[in-house]
Every structure is written in C-alpha cells, then in structure tokens.
Structure 1
Amino acid sequence: MRSHRRTPSRKAAWRAFSAAVLAGVLALTACGNDSPAASWNDGKNGGGGQQQEDSGPKQGATVTSPAADAKDVPASTAIAFTMDNASNPTVELKSAGGEAVEGTMQEDGKSWLPSGALEYGTAYTVTINATGSDGKPTTSTSSFTTMAKPSKVVRVSSFLGDGQVVGVGMPLIVRFGREVPQDYRDDVQRRLFVQSTPQQEGIWHWTSPTEVHYRPKTYWQAGTKISYKLQTGGLPMGDGYYGRADVNVDVKIGPSFVMSVDNKTKKMTVTKDGKVIKTIPVSLGKKSTPSASGTMVIIEKQRKTVFDTMDDPNPANRYRTPIDYAQRLTWSGQFIHAAPWSEGVQGRTNVSHGCVNVSMAMGAWLFGQTRIGDVITVKNTEEKLQNGNGWTDWNMSWEQYVKGSAIPYNG
C-alpha cells in the first residue's frame, strides 16, 4: 500500500474535534435507512462566538470545535465544547435559513453529533443552553460554515442490504472505494455505529485498507435485530478525499444453525437453537487436497453450478463437474455440496478436492435450512484454515480479533 501523509497542522485541526466525538470502541447508535440494496456512505469569543456576562465567575459552555467563524468545515463535523461552572447542556444547531439539525449528545457529555452529514457550503449557528452553578440558565452561541462539495469522494458501502435475515456468524462488512490511510482509520471507525437488540458486545476489525468487519464477542443471539449506520458523508479520508454519503442498514439474525464436522468420525453434527437435529455422513478432502480445519461461515449459496478447475497446473486436479446445492465456505473453493458419486464412501473415506461432500438428499436438506452467515467448524484435518480465506472472523479468538481494531480496545 502506498504511503499517505498529511501536514501536522491538518492532522491537528482534524483531531481537535474528531477525538472529542466518540471515545469508546463499541458503537451503540444507528438509525434511518439509505439503500435497500446489498451494494457496494479553538475556543474563541467575539464575532458570533460566546456571549457571557462579565460579572462573577464564568458559567456556561464554550464551543471548541468548529472554531468560531470557521470556514471550510467538513460536512461530517461534530460539535465539541467545554463547560465552566455549569451542567445539563443541550445543543441546538440551525442553518442560516433557520432549519434545525437533529443530533445526539455523545456519551462523553462534551460533544454532540448531527444525525447525518451537513449541507455543503452552508452557514450554521450552534446554541448551547445549560444551567449555571447559581441555578440560572446560560446560553452561548458560535457559528461556522461548511466546505464546498468536494470533487474527490470515496464510496462507502455495506455488503448486506436492508431487511436481510442472516446467520448467527454473519459479520457486518463495510467496503471503501479506495484505500483508507492507516492514520485515518480510527477517525472512520468512530463514525461506524452498531446497535443490536438485545445488546451484545462487539468490535470493528480491519481486514484490509478497503474493508472492515464487525462481529460480536460470541455468535449473535438468534433473533437479534441489528441497525448499523456508516456516518461517513463528508468525512475526511486522506489525500483530499471525503466520504460520499451516509449509509443505514437494518438486518435480522435468524435461528442459530451451526454445523460441526469431525474428520475422525467423518460426520457432520447439525445443531439448531442449541439442539442436535441431524447427524450426516460426509466425505472430506483426500490427502492430496485436504479440507481446511477451522471455523467458517456460508458466503454464498448456489442451487446449481459447475466446478471448473481445467486451468489447474496439476493435471490430476483438473475437472469440470455440475454441482447441486453448493454452499461456499472459502475463496479458494471449498464448499458444502451434494456429491452423489461419493455417497457410497461418505462417513468412511475422504475422496473430495477439499469440499464437504454430502448425499443428494442431505445436500437438499441443508440447502433448505441454511442462511448466509451460518457457521461451520471443521476439525482434525491435515490443513489449517488461513485467515482471510473466506469470512474467517470466527477463526480468530476475541483477543486476536480486537487487534484488528483501529481504536484500542478497553473491554
């Protein structure tokens, strides 16, 4: 990846308000709806600044970011402020035309985030009302103007579309249209919000400069409702690029459906909502093309397809075969699928090219039960699953996974 740099002054200006916005790793708010498709979102006074009486100790709020009368403010800006001898702050943000902007006070109690990107090239006024230590109300105001609409934007997209129902192992997957520089990823991550009902601890993990995943500490609870918001519209992303838009997605977790395959017994045990409902004979990869041991999730499902390896450099591995009930597990080509040609040895001998072979009847049954994001663990084979070969979020321990966060984990 090429190096990305910015001047210290630019970095300092951005950090001044970005660091004050959200301090936690876990994001707990999301709302709204953007796209239904699965696709690839200094404290100063005067001149519009603070208005305070000079008598007695100072009481009230001081807006620290954006600076009073600031120009070219990113449309993603948050409102950061300090409090002096006052409490119970409320924030109002209005455009020059008097239109109110919705937003939320952040957990630190010292910053307020608009519910979405502000309009470009627009003047805004912040009003903070609070209660002074003497019990009297205080009011302070500050104004700023957002930047013109940028010409260099980054598309931010969610793999999952609105309303999808997925398995308990499904990671939330966000992709960026260009690489996010290392020193901007924490700023971006602070604008990725996840809310689950029931609430479950989770974290974002960068799998590459263009992709970040979110998973809970343990599998999602069956029936969980998830809303996540990518509040990236107008967000600086390095080299003069800004996020193109905000994205909002609502999804639901289906029943818990977990498959476990043991090479020693050559059987698959299927558990649904904690109860074993089926034991299925399987044939795994033969020694020359072993199946990978590890925890994977179903990436895609194809009722009918053709496996074509005619470009394999090893003639022994070349074949072109019609396949029924194929469920992809890895990018390298390991699937669960029906294999009527191996039904005679399933449960006894491994003959596949790395896939999990089941009978035609069991292939059809599994295909009708599973969802994208359902979990399968394979164990006791000759090869270990390589992280990144599929959605391998669950192939890492929680301690390993949090290391992929751009924000230090304090759980």
Structure 2
Amino acid sequence: MGMFTRAGAALGALGLVASLALAGCGGDPEQARFVGGSDPTASATPAEPTAVNGPPLPVTPADGSTNRPVSAEIAATLPDGAKVSAVTLTAADGKQVEGRLRADGSSWVPSTPLKYGTRYSATVTATAADGGTREGRSTFTTMAKPKSMIGSGLYLFDDKEYGVAMPVVVEFSPGIPKKDRAAVQKRMFVQTDPPQPGAWHWIDGGTQAYYRAPEYWKPGTTLSVRIALAGIPLSNGKYGNVDRVATAKIGRAFEMKVDNATKRMTVYEDGQVVRTLPVSLGKKKTPSSSGTMVVMEKKESTVFDTRDDPDPDNRYVTEIDFAQRLTWGGEYIHAAPWSEHVQGRQNVSHGCVNVSTANARWLFGRTKIGDPIIVTGTERRLAAGNGWTAWSLSWSEFVKGSALPVPEGGAGSPF
C-alpha cells in the first residue's frame, strides 16, 4: 500500500482530465449535443409574434447594466399566466447567440458562455393565455475577464464508451463554498438518452460533485454533459474558469463482485455469470475497502512505488501488470503472480485485489472505465471521496448531498 494524496489527484484532474496519477497499492484512503437538451446548431428562437401589446416587460440583466458575468441568463418578469414565447440575444457584432429556455421557464440559457467585455442586446417576448403578447428589451455589457478563477475538471471524454456505473465527476480547486453550491449546481447540466432521472451529490469540502441515476445507467445510454462554469461568480471572490462539454456512451452491463468470505470474484456480463476468479485481498494490517467502487484508470504495465509510506513494512517498488485503479488511496485490481499460490484461500495484499496474471489479463481485456466492482466482508468501509464513490451510498443517502431539492425518484433535464 502506498501513499497517494487527493490534492495531487485534484491537480491532475484540472483541464480536460488526462490520465490519473498512479501510486502503489493501498494506503489510506447525436441526440442532445448541448447538455440539458438543446442543440447548439439549432435556433432556440421561435418566429416573432406579429403584435405586441401592453407596457414593456422588465428584463434581466437590466437595461444599461454593466459588468455582468459571462454566465448571465436572460429572464423577464411576466404577467400572471404569461409564458415566454421568444428570446433573442445579439452581440455588438450582430451575431446571434443560441440558447434554450429552462423547463420551468425561469430563464433562457445561452448555449455557450458570453464573451468578456462585450455589449449584448436581449429581447424577450411573452404570450398571455388570451394570445396577447408583451415584449421587453435590454442592452447590457459583460465584465472584463477576472483575474481570480477556480480550476475545474470533468472526468468524461467525447465519443468514449464507459461502464454502467460511470458517474459524471466534476472536480473543483479550490472547493466550492457551501453557500455557492446551489448556484453552481444549476449550471451543471446532464441529459440522458434514453431519459433517466438523476441527482448531484457534493463531497465534503466541495472539491468534487458526482451525478448518477438511482440505478446503474441503462446499457447504450448517451450521456450529454455541460458543466457551464465560465464566469460564474463565487462568494470567495473567484469566478468559474471554463465551460466543459462532453458526450459519451454507456456500454454493456459488466460487474465484478468480490466476497472476502469466499475470496472469490464473480464476474457478470449482461446479468449472466461469465467467470469466477480466486483473489487475495488486503491482509488485516492493510485491509481492502468494502463498498461499491468503479474502475477509474487502466494501465497495462506500471510501477508501484511506495517508498514514501510512513510504515516501513509498506515500502516497496514493484512492476505491476494489468493494473486497474479503484481508489485514490491506491487500491487496484492487478496481476500478482507472487500470491497465486494463496489466492482463493488467504489475504496477503496491501489492500489491492490480487488475481493471477492470466485472470488479470482476461479482466483487463474486458473492463471499461466506469465498470463497477463491489467488495464485501472486509475490515474497512470505503471512505467517501476515496475514488469515485457515487455508488457507495443508497439513493436516499445520495440525494441528501444535493445542493438543490431533488424530486422523488430524481431530477430530470432542466430543459
């Protein structure tokens, strides 16, 4: 078991996240391309009504306002019973901004961040129940690019295929203050095809947020994600850095279940048992974590270097084949030819799931990032945030971590 700090992991996650950093085994722990349901290539503005009646609608941002964040959404104060029927937003250069109205009608969200230091003109048209229309206009200017921004990362890549337990994982550095999480969460859009409800859950410290459904994703699901942080103001004087967008696919159902009592891994594909493997888990001094984890990273060959571990008994440098990361603390599934003689009978690892070289090669060739592994019966419970732990909680516990109310069964698309 080696030492791997989450601080290092957070830094590695910033930007469109590249491969995750490796440490040793163990240690403590084209449906909706625009996320939220809109299509960036399609105009979100219906035809203008022919007649406009009544006084102007008050529009937000207010007419003549300056220094507006580039995350600004367009809204209007509506008469009772009226609904927004059209929104246009045009930059000073005459280019029209695409966007989509939220499902609750509360605001119109631009498909991409507004530009810094730019003047925009907005027009909102509302239609009453009797067919009459009202219109409001506003010209406002966005702020200059701020100097103090957070870092962020999205663990999802375009056109990649993931396992059924792949959560949408967003990282923030520094963490998002509690008072800001609801506003940030409103700017984190997820759409699934076919539709499946879901919810966000914040890890203590606000350095990570996970999105998942009540159950694993349906095989073949398309996940369309927009983490629209660019320019969002925070209470600590910082601003969101960029928007991150990805559309990915969920593959077949593949699941691994490890029982410490039998020291066996049972492998399921599409609900059917395809193989049972003997394993060796963590010895009592360095137990494996019990809980639902997901494969976060795969390395066909690597080196575990735990010479910085405070316990001299846990310091080693070892070449490892077919390594699949499960936790930030350094737990992996990997080939362990040195323990093959006790696999299925005795736990001797530093917290990892040891399998034979042949079985490790077989597993490595079949797993995807996001495939779940459930370990039961060990001396240690999986710690929240030690890996992508979105599935280590029941659904009722998970939704308690949302910064916004979650309807029974889960939240749907905001559009």
The two structures, once aligned, show a CA RMSD in angstroms of: 2.4
1:384 to 375, 378, 381: 381
The alpha carbon displacement at 1:52 in A equals 7.7
Contact 1:184 1:237 in 2 (8 A): yes
Structure 1 pair 380/179, CA: closer, same or farther in 2 (3 Å)? closer
- Give me the whole-angstrom Cα distance separating, in 2, the residues matched to 1:287 and 1:309: 19
Contact preservation (8 Å) 1:60, 1:132: no
What residue is the counterpart of 1:290 in the other structure? Answer: 287
Alignment match, 1:168:
164
Most deviating of 180-189 and 145-154: 145-154
How has the CA–CA distance of structure 1 residues 135 and 190 changed in structure 2, closer, same or farther, with 3 Å as cutoff?
closer
1:259, distance to aligned residue in structure 2 (A): 0.3
1:331-370 aligned at under 5 Å gives the runs 331-370=328-367
Task: Tell me, yes or no, if the aligned pair for 1:116 and 1:233 is still in contact at 8 Å.
Answer: no
Q: Which amino acid aligns with 2:252?
A: P
Distance verdict in 2 for CA 1:61–1:105, change over 3 Å? farther
Q: Which letter maps to 1:233?
A: A
Asked if 1:108 is matched to 2:104, the reply is yes
How much does 1:281 deviate?
1.2
After superposition, the Cα gap between the structure-2 partners of 1:301 and 1:153, relative to the gap in structure 1 and judged at 3 Å, is: same
Checking the alignment, whether the CA contact within 8 Å between 2:38 and 2:99 is kept in structure 1 is no
Tell whether 2:69 aligns with 1:74.
yes
Question: Is the CA contact (8 Å cut-off) linking 2:325 and 2:332 kept in structure 1?
Answer: yes
Indicate yes or no: 2:126 matched with 1:118. Answer: no
Alignment equivalent of 1:259, drawn from 252, 256, 260: 256
Pair 1:144 & 2:152 matched: no
CA contact (8 A) 1:66 1:77 kept: yes
> Would you say the 8 A contact 1:30–1:193 is kept in 2?
no
> What are structure 1's unaligned runs of at least 5 residues?
1-26, 34-50, 54-58
Give the direction of change, closer, same or farther, for the CA distance of 1:400–1:60 in structure 2 (3 Å limit): farther
Q: Which stretch shifts more, 219-228 or 301-310?
A: 301-310
Kindly state the Cα deviation for residue 64 of structure 1 after the two structures are TM-superposed: 4.1
Change (3 A) 1:68 1:380: same
Which residue does 2:36 correspond to in 1? 28
In 2, the alpha carbon distance for the partners of 1:32 and 1:132 equals 28
Identity across aligned pairs (percent)?
A: 50
1:307 aligns with 2:304: yes
Aligned in 2, Cα 1:353/1:61: closer, same or farther, shift over 3 Å? same
Per-residue deviation, residues 327-382 of structure 1 (Å, max 9, x unmatched): 12122222111122222222222222222111111011001111111111111122
Aligned counterpart, 2:413: none
- 1:312, 1:240 → 2: CA distance? 37
One-letter code aligned to 1:354: G
Contact 1:226 1:251 in 2 (8 A): yes
Residues 1:128 and 2:128 are matched in the alignment: no
**Change over 3 Å in CA distance of 1:409–1:315 after alignment to 2:** same
SS at match of 2:360: helix
Question: 1:99 — aligned with what?
Answer: 95
The structural deviation recorded for 1:275 is 0.9
CA distance in 2 between counterparts of 1:338 and 1:301 reads: 12
Cα deviation for residue 31 of structure 1 reads 5.5
Residues 175-206 of structure 1, C-alpha deviations (whole Å, 9 max, x = no match): 23433222112111100100111111111222
Alpha-carbon contact 1:68-1:143 (below 8 Å) kept: yes
Query: What residue identity is the alignment partner of 1:104?
Result: R
Equivalent residue, structure 1, for 2:200:
204
The structure with more radius of gyration = 1
Query: Does structure 1 conserve the Cα–Cα contact (< 8 Å) formed by 2:60 and 2:138?
Result: no
Shift of 1:148: 2.5
Q: Is 2:273 the counterpart of 1:276? A: yes
Q: Measure, in 1, the Cα distance between the counterparts of 2:218 and 2:69.
A: 38
Alignment CA distance shift 1:320-1:196 (3 Å): same
Q: Which runs of 5+ in 2 are unaligned?
A: 1-34, 42-50, 409-415
In 1, the alpha carbon distance for the partners of 2:245 and 2:210 equals 15
Output the TM-score relative to the length of structure 1. 0.81
For 1:97 and 1:315, how far apart are their aligned partners in 2? 65
> C-alpha separation between the residues in 1 aligned to 2:229 and 2:167?
19
Question: For residue 20 of structure 1, what is the aligned residue in structure 2?
Answer: none
In structure 2, distance between residues paired with 1:307 and 1:345: 21
Distance in 2, Cα, partners of 1:221 & 1:312: 41
Is the CA contact 1:260–1:270 (under 8 Å) kept in the aligned structure 2? yes
2:395 alignment partner in structure 1: 398
**SS of residue in 2 equivalent to 1:347:** coil
Q: Greater relative contact order: 1 or 2 (C-alpha under 8 angstroms, separation 6 or more)?
A: 2
CA distance 1:345–1:155, change in 2 (3 Å)? closer
Within the alignment, does 1:247 sit opposite 2:263 as a pair? Answer: no
Aligned residue for 1:63? 58
Residues in 2 aligned to 1:150 and 1:309: alpha-carbon distance in whole angstroms: 41
Q: 1:98 to 1:238 in 2, by over 3 A?
A: same
Q: Which residue of 2 aligns with 1:40?
A: none
Which has a greater percent of strand?
Answer: 1
TM-score (normalizing by structure 2) = 0.80
Alpha-carbon offset, residue 238 of structure 1:
3.0
Give the Cα separation in 1 of the matches to 2:360 and 2:281.
14
